[in-house]
Amino acid sequence: MSEIKYDINLEQAQALATELGANTKAGYLDVSDYPQWQIALQEFQNWAGELNILINNAGILYSGAFENTTIPSHHRTIDINVKGVLNGCHAALNYLQKASFARVINLSSASAIYGQADLASYSASKFAVRGLTEALDVEWQKYNIRVLDVMPLFVQTSMVKNMDAGSIQNIGVDLTPADVSMILQTTAVEKGTPGKDPRYGAGRIDAYQAYLLAVSMIPVELSSFIASANENSVTLNWSTATETNNSGFSVERKTPLDERWIEVGFVPGFGTTTERKSYSFIDANLSMGLFSYRLKQIDFDGTVEYSNEVFAEIGSPQNFVLMQNYPNPFNPSTSIEFSIPVVSNVSVEIYNVIGELVSSLVNQSLEAGYHRINFNASNLPSGTYIYQLKANGQNFCIFGK
């Protein structure tokens, strides 16, 4: 991922870019100046090729009694904290609309939950950021762009040093920049319901609980899971919107006659990705009946999550069918499958190429459905054999080697 860190303090931005490595650049930006936003975003587009995630992080804070803070200071708070976010969202929209995956993350604050004494203009600015985020998250659904806010408590940065406010003395400063960065990374791939999202979207009422949820978030977001029956097999198809540390999916099945979940297969995952991924699995050679399926998603650290159940029913076959044996050629055994639509007197016999009967595998009445039997030729010479199904007076023959 390519990043440009823009800041009004270019020297600090360059130091951070150097620390983060070759995929990061630094640039100068006064967020209150709309033309500078246009220049900066075009620069980023030219360098990175695509703008996927915009993080509006610029903010300042003046603390103390409202009347003791100068009007220029109040105005500067609004210019940076509110106009900066508004400018960034407006200028970035054209780029985000063209992106394959788009998010806007606005840094709000727990001060947007209720007004903070001694932080009046700062608290008001964060209410504005929260309101803008809520509105755009709904409005930009038509562009498939999520607009999300992060509302942390006080963070251990230079902005809160020597802050003159009773709330910081009562609550303390417990979050680190790394904590907020973790939330930003998870928020960048969040795809919850637009509007009121209890984890990352607008309208959060408990910022610290949101942080705890972010740390323990479900690693994979399953966007669809369906089952479809075809003769005596069931095909499962599912897709994920995002994946984080996904080792893969254990496919589990149960029937009304056996309530135990049994693993019938495993499909590897894609690890960590923000791209939509699709999966499929075929559960073959099933008898008639209703089957339930679920996915057991397994993280690399062993954490598991279960999907909802889906159902598929294998019905009665419509015709008498004798299928090609598998494997073919075989040594020394092979499986023979056939289906019968009604209760039938069935015989399955094996002949050599000169028409001699060498084995009788079935000679009995069988229920309607799909059947599979095993033919072991270990006591017979190598060669070509013919197997014949007789059911209610009808004959079916297939060659096998």
Q: Are residues 224 and 131 in the same domain?
A: no
Domain boundary, last residue among 289, 314, 339: 314
Q: What is the CB-side half-sphere exposure of residue 393 using CA atoms within 13 A? A: 0
Residue 323: which of 336, 314, 332, 333 has the closest Cα? 336
Question: Which residue has 């599912």 as its token pair?
Answer: 238
Cβ contacts of 338 within 8 Å, gap of 6 or more? 320, 321, 322, 323, 346, 348, 370, 371, 389, 396
Q: Are residues 193 and 233 in the same domain?
A: no
Query: How many other β-carbons are positioned within 10 Å of the β-carbon of residue 390?
Result: 18
Burial of 64 (0-12, 13-18, 19+ CB in 10 A): middle
**Contact present, 185 and 103 (Cβ < 8 Å):** no
Q: Are residues 257 and 167 in the same domain?
A: no
Residue 213's pLDDT is what? 47
Q: Which of 225-230's residues contact partners 24+ apart within 8 Å by CB, and which partners?
A: 225/295, 225/307, 225/308, 225/310, 226/310, 227/291, 227/293, 227/310, 227/311, 227/312, 228/312, 229/312, 229/313, 229/314, 229/315
Which residues does residue 136 pair with via DSSP β-bridges, in sequence order? Answer: none
Residue 123: which of 180, 177, 66 has the closest Cα? 66
Residue 185's pLDDT is what? 56
**CA angle in degrees (0–180, nearest 5) for 53-58-63:** 150
In a domain, 165, yes or no: yes
Q: Are residues 36 and 169 in the same domain?
A: yes
Is 114 among the catalytic positions?
no
Q: Are residues 188 and 125 in the same domain?
A: yes
Residue 183's pLDDT is what? 58
Which tens digits make up the pLDDT trace of 112-132?
Answer: 777 777 888 888 988 898 889
Range of the domain at 356: 321-400
User: What's the CATH number where 42 sits?
Assistant: 3.40.50.720
Residue 164's pLDDT is what? 55
- Taking 70 as the pLDDT cut, the residues of the chain under it are 1-10, 13, 16-17, 20-23, 25, 110, 151-219, 393-401
User: What's the CATH number where 327 sits?
Assistant: 2.60.40.1930
Domain boundary, last residue among 198, 215, 232: 215
Tell me the whole-structure pTM to 2 decimals: 0.44
Residue 182's pLDDT is what? 59
Which residues does residue 312 pair with via DSSP β-bridges, in sequence order? Answer: 291
Largest CA distance in the chain: 110
In a domain, 15, yes or no: no
Number of domains in the chain: 3
Distances (CA, A) of 58 to 54, 116, 136, 202, 270: 12, 20, 19, 19, 34
Annotated catalytic residue within 6, 62, 122, 211: 122
